[in-house]
Amino acid sequence: MKVIGSAAKTVFYLKKIQGQHPNWSLHYKIKCKSTENELTNLLRYAEIKRNQPVAIIAREQFSGFGQNSKTWVSPKGGIWLSAAYPIFSKEFKSQIFNLSLGIKICEMLKQENINVCLKWPNDIFIGSKKLIGFLPKVITRGNEITYVRVGLGMNVLNYTPSEGTSLSKVLQTKNINQYYWTAKVLKAFHDSVECNSNKDYVINSANKFLTKRFLPSGFCSNTWKIRDIDSNGNLRIENQTQLKVITRF
């Protein structure tokens, strides 16, 4: 089957940077309520196949949501997608999936000479401003992990609020190929699955990219500070007398 339109443009760059495998199934939407809802509906009627990850990519979302069901503003000009990757294994380390994805996105941007940091558990920042947010999930059947999925938003050419930034602002140009960057994000997702078995590498890399300026909600920076990410992917914070472990779930 011949791939045409926006999907074909992304596939072109995917093949250049990743080769033929895996064989992504890409679905572009001009506008939708939420790519997460679209992906859920797609997988409800068509089970994910081995070696064929799938992604829903929208030019615009009008009802996206992020961590803790927070509103995810998704205007034209950004990359808004939800993707699922087949696993079919009992060995996949679900507790560090958010970190393996985070470090691969950070590494991808670093290769483009963009210095970013990881805000635990699932945001990518440049300095004090958010560039990318992602919401990872692990889908199981019995003891087996069937697939992992992620909803991701990346500010590219779109307007951002004061707490955010965009690729356009960072690179100081509007001449940005969104299909190339979409392919780079999908490649990072693939790489995050590939490196998941190397737990030491994931944790060590996550600590190298970790920013310590943003404490979890409810903790005062005058009292608490971030120590590191532990071997289970949890965030450890400390004060003069206590060490607390913050879990993602």
pLDDT bin (cut points 50, 70, 90) of residue 2 is very low
* Neighbour count for residue 7 (Cβ, 10 Å): 18
Torsion region of 212: left, alpha or beta (phi above 0 gives left; psi -120 to 50 gives alpha):
alpha
Joined tokens for residue 190: 């693939």
Report the helix count and the strand count for the chain, using DSSP H and E: 6, 12
pLDDT over 60 at 66, yes or no: no
Does 3 score more than 50 pLDDT?
Answer: no
At residue 226, does pLDDT exceed 70?
yes
Confidence label for 7 from pLDDT (cuts 50, 70 and 90): confident
Q: Which helix (H) or strand (E) holds 228?
A: strand 225-229
Residue 6: what pLDDT?
80
State the DSSP code for 240.
S
Q: What pTM was computed for the model?
A: 0.93
CATH tag, 5-214: 3.30.930.10
Q: Kindly indicate the confidence band of residue 47, based on its pLDDT and cuts at 50, 70 and 90.
A: confident
For residue 18, the model assigns a pLDDT of 82
Mean pLDDT of 227-242: 97
As a whole number, mean pLDDT of residues 58-86 equals 81
Per-residue model confidence as pLDDT tens digits over 175-217: 999 999 999 999 999 999 999 999 999 999 999 999 999 999 9
Retrieve residue 38's tokens: 């679209």
Question: Which helix (H) or strand (E) segment is 97 a member of?
Answer: helix 97-111
- For CATH 3.30.930.10, list the domain ranges present in the chain: 5-214
Quote the pLDDT of residue 19. 76
Whether the predicted pLDDT of 4 surpasses 70: no
Per-residue confidence (pLDDT) for residue 70, from 0 to 100: 63
pLDDT band at residue 1 under the 50/70/90 scheme: very low
Is it the case that residue 31 has pLDDT exceeding 60?
Answer: yes
How large is the average pLDDT for residues 232-246? 96
